[in-house]
Structure 1
């Protein structure tokens, strides 16, 4: 649903400065100005990212320590 994508991306923009810079038919990439740095917030965002793109994120711990703290977030769907 497009509205669901808009809601998620707006939330990430407001909290972390995440801006969409690439959108393809099965992939999105975001530039993140203020990625979460504390473990609790990173863990919560890893769960959000997993719910958003379950095809892409296989390991929540790795997502919380890796992508979530990065300035680039990538998502893909099959």
Structure 2
């Protein structure tokens, strides 16, 4: 048997899931949890999904901690 043909739409979704999980792990390592981190459902709709990672909502305190962590990493 030959190679199994992969569904491009499924590959896009899988890639977005992996990116989300990678971000979640990196944030966890910095002591940050974004409770609403997920894939955007609307971007998954249609025959050719264009998945987006939805960072979700967080408290102002968490937003400040995230900003500070990013600043530290950027220097």
- Higher strand fraction (1 or 2): 1
Q: Sort the TM-score into its range (normalised by shorter chain).
A: 0.3 to 0.5
Structure of higher CA gyration radius? 2
Q: Please, what TM-score do these two structures have when normalized by structure 2?
A: 0.34
- Higher helix fraction (1 or 2): 2
